[in-house]
Structure 1
Amino acid sequence: MALTTSSAVPTFLCSNRKSARLSLTCSPWRPRSWSRNSSASMLVTAKHGQRNAIQYKNLGDSDLRISEITMGTMTFGEQNTEKEAHDMLNYAFEHGINILDTAEAYPVPVKKETQGRTDLYIGSWLKSQSRDKVIIATKVCGYSERSGYLRENSKVLRVDAANIRESVEKSLKRLNTDYIDLMQIHWPDRYVPLFGEFIFDPAKWRSSVPFMEQLKGFQELIDEGKVRYIGVSNETSYGVMEFVHAARIGGLPKIVSIQNCYNLLTRCRFEVDLVEICHPNNCNIGLLAFSPLGGGILSGKYLDAHSEAAKKGRLNLFPGYMERYTKSYAKEVTAMYVELAKKHGLTPVQLALGFARDRPFVTSSIIGATSIEQLEEDIGAFLTTERPLSPEVMQEINSVFKGHKDPAID
């Protein structure tokens, strides 16, 4: 159903504005464990091959109850046609997924000629859907000196009120909707090491838009009913804590989610300290894990560089893309995980997605696909792989990890 964005703010958004600000401190007043006391998210034990229903969890402090799988869309408009995009969205939502993730900069690789096409494909699909059955997560770009074409009168993108508003207004139009369920900052306004960089370089520090000013920009749009909740992406512990602190002292919306890379090859950055910050008994921020297959490398398809699957994969289609997986020790460690999966009667996809699925701090894993066949395999990995993975499998995963921590940063 369509919702108006006139001065009459929708009733449910008025109530959600309140809930979005209730937990402005980290949350000692509402103790919880990672496994919520809810029938939809309680631990389910199942043997490999048995089919289970998708599970659902609340995203942080929000009332967004999302599926454990999020449909990623960044290939729509580059590797996928509009019809293919619609077919995959239909398949995903028919099989229990209720949230999709997009961004103003998509599709990937990011370029002026195709920017926004992903949203347009989603928008045309939404015309045949019940809007209240679809949770839309999108993103406003962080600091960028190369993507000024996204704005009408800016050469440099910033996360300030003007940029946030223009991003949201344009996204709403492309997506053919009146509101966004989750608006995320794609990457920080300040300098942080990103997309394969690992070490913070003090020489690259720059002044940035104050955290409170960023939140005030979102506040205006929440008050207008155009945004329900906010989150961050590619963020650090420092950034998460500053946003939570700014919300608390300013009476502003609290972030409810963090979208960071997390998979068998990229664990440390989240597990070292973000996991503590995001815990429900602390700041209660839900992790939307992107690249649970490491850009596809954990499927094993790139181990044979001459295979058809490897040739068609985006790590080969787009030179320089995600080189942290192709020009590192990641391939060798991937081969270890592929052998581990084979030993236990699993496919590499089942092992990788089952691992991400079972982590108690992962609210939802973002999966991407370029075909129905890939999507079917990915969803099947969640629903038919033993839940949780056996202690023996986890012990062997951790054995590989202890000897080869985060090889994609080598």
Structure 2
Amino acid sequence: MNVSRSFISRTKGWVAGALLTSTMTAPASAEDVTITAVFKPDSAYPHLNKFKNTTPPSGYCGNWPDQCELEQFFSLKVPIQFNSRSPIQANHASVRQGAMLKAPAQWRELTVYHETTREPETVRVRIAGIGSQAVTDDVMELVGGADDYRIAHNLLWGLSWVSAPSPCLYSGVGWYTTTTYDFFWRTPTEGICAKQAKFNVPWLRFNHLDFAYELETPNPLGMSSGHYTGSLTYSIGPNGDFDFGDVLIPSDSALTMNFNLDVQHTLKVDIPPGGEKVQLVPAGGWQSWLQAGRRPVRLFRDQTFNISASSRFKMQMECEFTGSSYDCLLDDRVSKRGVELQVFVTLPNGLTDMSGQPVRHMRLRAGAANALYFQPGFYVDRAPGVLHFEVPEREMEFMLEPGAGPYYRGKVTVIWDSEI
């Protein structure tokens, strides 16, 4: 009994599209940054099912990559300046009248959408650190003299800019000259981190905004291949999301973070050479029938295949000859009668049905409406699966009647498709 088969594995490609913005209208004076991340399965790390942040770092993480890797955050430096609109008085009573920073350190959610299907996914982000370069007049002159510039900076602000006021935390970063001090503070919680001037400061400027962010991305194994885009806008200014008090006024009133997530799934099926032709035989071969006339219980054949999958996919079957129960038929060229051929599939560990159950000897039926859907728990790389072909026992009596056969044939096409 011969069954010729075709095997098709389809994956969906992607093309780059324009970034989508949220329905919120950004202020006219806004600074935009783009954050990119990609998921591409790696056979060396099949259980590492996470996006990789591919955004080129700048600012703090550009200078101290090891520290950022340890803290598991990323940073960007944007050209937003903060200029004082009035002098800062010595020992000012209100934190808002001096040098202060408050970052949006709480987690915020945004929705990214697939560029073609519009499937939504949720991304979470928080600002994990903030810094800049503080610029003013010669600090030696402002404090009336000191042994060196480092001491003068400390005298002017009570403590070094490296020493972060609570609830901000120390990051170990500090560069200084007679008129500047570069600093960076971690922001584990949201709150005002303020420096009180101990001497009059005629003017103050923060030359840029350096911020670190933590990113939580969705599970890529449940996403379709392609690009997902979305955006989140933070306000900047007095009482805004980024708040630098009432004295320091930003050059831009908003920061928009555009997110671009690229999902590059793998779905590949390899059939061993010769696997496109299946010969169904009884258990132990035909000798019992030929020598003793014992009718076989059933005809069957198991065909192995290797599958690599990192995304949801479906399997469906097409038949050259189809019966009323959506099973394929094998055709007897002599009597022109068909016998039922049942097809089942077993998938390797890591691939389940949509309810999370293992796939063991699950029956395939013909037609797109009868497609079976599966999902990975982790990236499966060249793991063995099995297609089971079987002519059931109830068909054997007819097949072996005098005058029937002797050849039954039919074509079965099994399709693995990630485009679901």
TM-score by length of 2: 0.20
Q: Which has the larger radius of gyration?
A: 2
TM-score, length-normalised on structure 1?
0.20
